[in-house]
A and B are shown apart, each in its own frame.
Chain A
């Protein structure tokens, strides 16, 4: 028991142990609510909801009417849970940076490559997130919703997606890091 509690307090688990936990969560999602663990779809549901309220004509299309219906869906609740789950994880290991000085930009590796500017970090994250969400829309899911959830149902789409993701990820990392790769 003491061992388990000490392990929970560790900042970094073995990825294998954390992976087993995620696998069990994936099984539970299918068993308890017959749904998958998607994260990126929730943003589209929320965006659709805001869009319908502000500019109904622009959002009255196939995508937002049928593929990604706006509203508070299962995925949105899951995403809220992910947020708090991550916070709990950080709190148990004492690394929660809520309100701390370097909370907005604390990654030393990032600072080494791009410089110390917090604005630059936020701008890059914003641009990257747009690319991510757009690509998730094309592929039909993100790392969790397609690669992991699709993969565990042995969907061919998941493995095509993982192959594409790593191919271009490696090239992008090469371009960004150049000499430091």
Chain B
């Protein structure tokens, strides 16, 4: 139950940051593929850098253990990514 409340709160912050970065808008998502607005990449890569340095620092201090890392199956990941890009540019998700 506490886990569900944590999920709700974290989700709210997640949605909030997406909205403020403008990623809830169709034009932001499509324009990154047209190289006219790089907000999606700036947002994603900043999040990645902050999270990965924080997580690996915390693991180094022994405060957290990692959950199951998403499985790597090269062909599936690439094909999935290729199809995903089509949907992303169509919908603006």
Contact = CB atoms under 8 A, between A and B. Distances in A.
Contact of A25 (B13, B22, B71): B13
Contact of B8 (A81, A131, A153): A81
Interface string A22-35: 11111111111111
Contacts, number: 331
Contact of A164 (B49, B66, B79): B79
- If over half of A's interface residues share one DSSP class (helix, strand or loop), that class is named, otherwise mixed; here it is helix
A171 B52 CA distance: 30
A138 B66 contact: no
Interface in A76-132: 77-90, 93, 107-110, 124-125, 127-132
Contacts of B21: 12-13, 15, 18-19, 22
Nearest to B91: A128
A148 B72 CA distance: 15
Contacts of A128: 86-88, 90-93
A144 B78 CA distance: 16
Nearest to B24: A86
A157 B73 contact: yes
A139 B39 contact: no
B82 to A, nearest CB: 4
A110 B89 contact: no
Contacts of B85: 164-172
A74 interface: yes
Given A19-B44, A168-B83, A149 B58 contact: no
B46 A16 contact: yes
Contact of A85 (B12, B56, B82): B12
A164 B52 contact: no
Interface in A122-180: 124-125, 127-158, 160-173, 176-177
B36 to A, nearest CB: 9
A169 B89 contact: yes
Contacts of A83: 11, 15
Contact of B48 (A16, A23, A75, A168): A23
A78 B24 CA distance: 16
Interface of A: 10, 12-13, 15-37, 74-75, 77-90, 93, 107-110, 124-125, 127-158, 160-173, 176-177, 181
Given A90-B19, A172-B33, 16 more contacts: A23-B46, A25-B14, A34-B65, A78-B8, A82-B18, A84-B11, A135-B81, A138-B79, A140-B73, A150-B70, A153-B66, A153-B70, A164-B77, A164-B81, A167-B82, A173-B30
